[in-house]
């Protein structure tokens, strides 16, 4: 090779790579922009920030090199099929409002030129944000919203990684049947309590529909305003109904308010089973030991590390970055960037139709996720992960420990719920 050709070749290769990346929809700086919409101000800002932290850690791992982590693309730096392109989260604040979620999703697509979307934790916000991305033909991977209706709309561009509340409701009811068999207890009646947005209303709907199938009688069906500041009326109705078990769907502010009111008014069902708000990082610091013995649906617990060492490794990275253990919310939000990166890498482009096709072919095995699932594969019609399932954790000594399924429990469940007056 003569000197002139040897000088030209590197430039030619660089030009070829640039043209290749351009045709793949990747910017010249090899950055792939993914929109991330979360409530970063307002009543549940701490939860939104927690979710964002989970997604940020996932992006760090995808963009860095972590040879000891068995996670998608962890062992390479960036996306190898796109010349090592890196993911970048472009973050927007929904303020916990559906209108803002929709507006921010539109802005991120049309102005920031994101090629995908994740978030938004609150199902009502995810619903409007995903309507916007559907209209704009941008893929949306959700791993932190649980309303069943989100994957019942027939949307082409929307995919969900985590379980929905129909799955969680069945888990809670099956737990009660398993508990009756294991402990010889009798549970006959259930009260259903839920906040009145997309999330809570659909939890209530699912429990009301499924309870008779499991042989339980519903003795109270109570909804309340998501921004309630006084719930003595609702708790009074619960006391009069006297259920064996309460099932409560809430966000964090109402979870704290109800816990305090349960104690003040002496509401003592045999079991206090809950969704969402009772597992958010700000809950236990607010109620401390009053949260003990409450059962919460979950997809993640730190004690899963006993059977899955990957959980401990990821939690160590999270704790190093943020100074706290990884929560259930952060763990759920951790999934979406990996699913996106895996699909874009296989598609070798950020072009939406090709990414959707790759998402439909997703097959991430169970040993590459931090959840007790067989992996991630999407139903071709609903786009719901067919392997997503829940576990139940109970607050014991102000820690969340897995108590169901019984064959994978880290501790025995404490049952019945101890009376408030007998607590220390």
Please provide residue 357's backbone torsions phi and psi, each rounded to the nearest 5 degrees: -60, -40
Q: Give tens-digit pLDDT for 193-247.
A: 999 999 999 999 999 999 999 999 999 999 999 878 999 999 999 999 999 999 9
Q: Determine how many CB atoms are found less than 10 A away from the CB of residue 34.
A: 25
**Of 244, 278, 261, 260, which Cα lies nearest the Cα of 416?**
244
Q: Give tens-digit pLDDT for 395-414.
A: 999 999 999 999 999 999 99
Q: Give tens-digit pLDDT for 127-155.
A: 999 999 999 999 999 999 999 999 999 99
What is the average per-residue pLDDT within 66-92? 97
pLDDT at 172 over 90: yes
Task: Show Cβ contacts of residue 297 under 8 Å, excluding neighbours closer than 6 positions.
Answer: 168, 171, 172, 273, 274, 275, 276, 279, 390, 391, 392
Torsional sign, CA 242, 245, 250, 255: positive
Pairing of β 31-38 and β 116-119:
parallel
What is the average per-residue pLDDT within 90-100? 97
Q: Give the CA distances from residue 93 to residues 79, 137, 168, in Å, rounded to whole numbers and listed in that order.
A: 27, 21, 28
Q: Cβ(412)–Cβ(421) under 8 Å?
A: no
| C-alpha–C-alpha distance, residues 297 and 279, integer Å | 8
Task: Show Cβ contacts of residue 237 under 8 Å, excluding neighbours closer than 6 positions.
Answer: 220, 222
Q: Return the pLDDT at 30.
A: 87
Q: Give tens-digit pLDDT for 257-275.
A: 999 999 999 999 999 999 9
Q: Give tens-digit pLDDT for 21-78.
A: 455 556 546 899 999 999 999 989 999 999 999 999 999 999 999 999 999 999 999 9
Q: Return the pLDDT at 258.
A: 98
| C-alpha–C-alpha distance, residues 146 and 197, integer Å | 12
Please give the model's pTM, rounded to 2 decimal places: 0.90
Q: Return the pLDDT at 43.
A: 87
């Amino acid at each position: 090779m003569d000197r002139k050709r040897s000088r030209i070749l590197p430039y030619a290769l660089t030009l070829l790579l640039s043209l290749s990346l351009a045709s793949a929809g990747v910017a010249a700086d090899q950055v792939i922009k993914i929109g991330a919409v979360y409530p970063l101000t307002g009543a549940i800002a701490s939860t939104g920030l927690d979710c964002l932290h989970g997604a940020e850690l996932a992006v760090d791992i995808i963009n860095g090199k972590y040879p000891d982590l068995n996670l998608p693309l962890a062992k390479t730096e960036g996306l190898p099929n796109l010349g090592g392109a890196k993911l970048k989260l472009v973050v927007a604040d929904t303020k916990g409002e559906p209108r803002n979620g929709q507006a921010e999703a539109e802005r991120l697509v049309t102005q920031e030129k994101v090629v995908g979307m994740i978030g938004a934790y609150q199902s009502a916000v995810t619903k409007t944000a995903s309507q916007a991305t559907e209209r704009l033909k941008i893929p949306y991977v959700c791993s932190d919203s649980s309303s069943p209706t989100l994957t019942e709309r027939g949307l082409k561009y929307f995919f969900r990684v985590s379980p929905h509340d129909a799955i969680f409701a069945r888990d809670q009811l099956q737990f009660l049947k398993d508990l009756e068999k294991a402990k010889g207890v009798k549970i006959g009646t259930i009260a259903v309590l839920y906040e009145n947005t997309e999330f809570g209303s659909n939890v209530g709907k699912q429990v009301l529909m499924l309870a008779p199938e499991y042989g339980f009688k519903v003795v109270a069906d109570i909804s309340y305003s998501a921004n309630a500041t006084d719930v003595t009326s609702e708790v009074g109705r619960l006391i009069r109904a006297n259920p064996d078990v309460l099932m409560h769907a809430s966000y964090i502010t109402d979870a704290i308010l109800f816990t305090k009111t349960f104690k003040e008014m002496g509401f003592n069902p045999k079991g206090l089973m809950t969704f969402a708000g009772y597992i958010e990082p700000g809950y236990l610091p607010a109620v401390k030991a009053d949260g003990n013995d409450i059962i919460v649906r979950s997809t993640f617990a730190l004690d899963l590390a006993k059977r899955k060492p990957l959980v401990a490794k990821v939690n160590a990275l999270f704790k190093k970055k943020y100074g706290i253990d990884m929560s259930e919310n952060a763990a759920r939000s951790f999934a979406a960037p990996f699913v996106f990166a895996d699909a874009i890498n296989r598609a070798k482009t950020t072009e939406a139709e090709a990414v959707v096709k790759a998402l439909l072919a997703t097959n991430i095995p169970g040993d590459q996720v931090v959840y007790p699932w067989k992996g991630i594969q999407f139903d071709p019609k609903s786009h719901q992960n067919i392997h997503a399932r829940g576990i139940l954790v109970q607050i014991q000594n102000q820690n969340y420990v897995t108590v169901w399924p019984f064959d994978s429990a880290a501790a025995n469940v404490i049952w019945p719920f101890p009376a408030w007056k007998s607590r220390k």
